[in-house]
Amino acid sequence: MPTRRSILSGLGGLVVTGATGGFSAACGGLAAAQSLSHVELRGGLDAADAGIMPGADDDQSRKLQALLNAAAKAGQPVFLPAGTYEVSNLDLPEGTRLSGVPGATRLSYRGDGHLIAVRDVRHISLSGITFDGANRWLADYTEGLLAFRGVEEVLIDNCAIAGSRKYGVQMERCGGRIAASRITGAAKAAIWSVEGRAMSIRDNEISDCGNGGILVHRWTKGADNSMITGNRISRIAATDGGTGQHGNGINLFRADGVMIEGNHVSDCAFSAIRANSASNVIISGNQALRSGETAIYAEFSFEGALIAGNLIDGAANGISVVNFDQGGRLATVSGNIVRNITAKGPYVHDGAGFGYGIAVEAETTVTGNVVETAAKAGLMLGWGPYLRNVVVSDNIIRKAPVGIMISVVEGTGSVVVSHNLVAETPTGAVLGYRWANKATQELVDGSQAFDTLVVEGNRRG
């Protein structure tokens, strides 16, 4: 096994002399010896001892790449002292463990290809480093300032990633975790994980990104099993436009088995949390503030969504569990607080529109929620014929034109609406609708006209 001294000597950063092994280097013998003692206690290599100096005018890429290659081969970590290092086109080898001084060690991208790329290795660890893209051009072959492909375990801890012209972190077919890091100013999204392998994305701060916060996508629908917990996400734009493809704080697409818990998501152009064609998803204990469209969305071809204990304040729709026409079904919506829902969305809607607290369609229970102040209705059950096997009970709905809207178009399935408290709903507490048009008188005291509809035990406040 190569020794630390032989690695550094081979890199030309230091010269070993004398019986005592004193070092002669640009930093001076005494300083180098002191640096050595600290680094040896850490069990790694100090980049300064290899002649890699912060603040240098010249490109440090070649020296740093050589040190990373040699250290990885020897099974040694590399430590970067505080300062700014101008680098580009770093390709991290198997076993790279690179660390710095949190908030003080900065790798600044020079702008002629990529900053960090990793492909088809088992383990990579990055900690305590700021990766600054400086909004410089990224080559067509890379999608992120930090780009990983086919890495079994990516570990990014206590880092900062800023100013990417594309994604902050892009991962394809990767496992591992991104934790306690700050990602800002990505032109696309902060994190894009495709075909993930049970990634953990937790306790990060994400803000001011052009098209998304955390994206967990798959090329083909299947188990992803990521856990997205404890993140703070804010000010997410939709610079590429659309009707929900962009502008979401957390977005799942075809990714099954994902848990989204305990996140604080605010000021997103579209949804705080959007699960598209994502089955067996848990969305619980999140705060969603000032969403531009639907705050929490389970849509299109999904089966299985548990949406519980979330707080939503400000959105064009609160919670939507819809698209039964595309196979969207099987959910519970319970214990949520939804308030201050407006009818103003980011585009012209060609369906039900905006202004609903909670909307559901098929094989869903809606229990124990509180909805207050919605522009059109507290609850909307079904749209046209897309309504089947829904139970709505023990909710409080207050301050909306209509408390509960129920589709009574021919072909709808069974619905039970019971023991809800509805107050300050001037148009009606419980009403039947044919698409967007009112089709019944007040139903709060019971319905005899529809065999599939049971309304009982409800109370007007």
Q: How far is the C-alpha of 349 from the C-alpha of 200, rounded, in Å? A: 35
- 8 found inside a domain: no
Q: How far is the C-alpha of 362 from the C-alpha of 332, rounded, in Å? A: 10
User: Residue 83's pLDDT is what?
Assistant: 97
217 SS3 class: strand
From residue 297, give the alpha-carbon distance in Å to each of 94, 200, 289, 306.
39, 21, 14, 11
Range name among 74-78, 104-108, 232-236, 442-446 with the lowest pLDDT average: 442-446
CATH number for the domain spanning 452: value is 2.160.20.10
pLDDT digit string (tens) for 157-168? 999 999 999 999
Mean pLDDT of all residues in 141-152? 98
- 26 found inside a domain: no
* Spatial CB neighbours of 425, under 8 Å, sequence gap ≥ 6: 378, 397, 398, 399, 400, 401, 402, 403, 460
What is the domain extent for residue 404?
Answer: 78-460
User: Residue 7's pLDDT is what?
Assistant: 57
Mean pLDDT of all residues in 152-181? 98
- 62 found inside a domain: no
Residue at token pair 């290599």: 45
User: Residue 25's pLDDT is what?
Assistant: 33
Whether pLDDT at 2 is above 80: no
Mean pLDDT of all residues in 111-115? 95
Q: How far is the C-alpha of 367 from the C-alpha of 97, rounded, in Å? A: 49
- 299 found inside a domain: yes
Select the highest-mean-pLDDT range: 22-31, 91-100, 443-452.
91-100
User: Residue 37's pLDDT is what?
Assistant: 37
Whether pLDDT at 12 is above 80: no
From residue 27, give the alpha-carbon distance in Å to each of 14, 52, 97.
10, 11, 24
DSSP character for 138? B
User: Residue 293's pLDDT is what?
Assistant: 98
Select the highest-mean-pLDDT range: 11-15, 55-59, 195-199.
195-199
Percent of residues, the chain, with pLDDT higher than 70: 91
Q: How far is the C-alpha of 41 from the C-alpha of 378, rounded, in Å? A: 62
Q: Which two tokens stand for residue 117?
A: 């790329």
| Dihedral sign, Cα of residue 336, residue 339, residue 342, residue 346 | negative
Q: pLDDT confidence of 13, banded at 50, 70, 90?
A: very low
User: Residue 440's pLDDT is what?
Assistant: 95
User: Residue 5's pLDDT is what?
Assistant: 54
Residue at token pair 């001011």: 208
Mean pLDDT of all residues in 258-271? 98
Q: pLDDT confidence of 10, banded at 50, 70, 90?
A: low
Domain count, the chain: 1
User: Residue 22's pLDDT is what?
Assistant: 32
Whether pLDDT at 20 is above 90: no
Q: Which two tokens stand for residue 317?
A: 């729709």
User: Residue 28's pLDDT is what?
Assistant: 35
More confident residue, 130 or 23: 130
Select the highest-mean-pLDDT range: 9-18, 21-30, 301-310.
301-310
Whether pLDDT at 319 is above 50: yes
Confirm if 205 and 231 have CB atoms less than 8 A apart: yes
Average pLDDT, the chain: 92
Residue at token pair 């040694």: 76
Distance of CA 352 to the CA centre of its chain: 27
Q: pLDDT confidence of 96, banded at 50, 70, 90?
A: very high
pLDDT digit string (tens) for 250-263? 999 999 999 999 99
- 425 found inside a domain: yes
Determine the residue type at 125.
S
From residue 251, give the alpha-carbon distance in Å to each of 95, 164, 169, 215.
31, 19, 15, 5
Whether pLDDT at 424 is above 80: yes
Helices of type H across 45-197 = 61-74
- 15 found inside a domain: no
Whether pLDDT at 15 is above 70: no
DSSP code per residue over 233-244:
EEEE--TT--SS
Q: What is the pTM of this model?
A: 0.92
- 12 found inside a domain: no
Whether pLDDT at 14 is above 80: no
> Cα torsion at 316, 320, 326, 332 (round to 10°)?
180
Confirm if 374 and 357 have CB atoms less than 8 A apart: yes
Mean pLDDT of all residues in 311-336? 98
Strands 259-261 and 281-284: parallel
Mean pLDDT of all residues in 185-208? 98
Q: Please provide residue 69's backbone torsions phi and psi, each rounded to the nearest 5 degrees.
A: -65, -45
User: Residue 351's pLDDT is what?
Assistant: 84
Whether pLDDT at 139 is above 60: yes
pLDDT digit string (tens) for 23-59? 233 333 333 333 433 444 355 899 988 889 998 878 8
User: Residue 52's pLDDT is what?
Assistant: 93
Q: How far is the C-alpha of 145 from the C-alpha of 149, rounded, in Å? A: 13
DSSP code per residue over 276-309:
ES--SEEEES-EEES-SSEEEEEESS-EEEEEES
User: Residue 443's pLDDT is what?
Assistant: 96
Residue at token pair 């959910």: 331
Q: Count the Cβ atoms, other than its own, within 10 Å of residue 56.
A: 14
Q: How far is the C-alpha of 450 from the C-alpha of 461, rounded, in Å? A: 25
User: Residue 432's pLDDT is what?
Assistant: 97
Mean pLDDT of all residues in 353-377? 98
User: Residue 449's pLDDT is what?
Assistant: 84
- 94 found inside a domain: yes
∠ Cα 203 208 211 (to 5°): 100
Determine the residue type at 22.
G
Q: What is the largest CA-CA distance in the chain?
A: 101
User: Residue 87's pLDDT is what?
Assistant: 96
pLDDT digit string (tens) for 218-228? 999 999 999 99
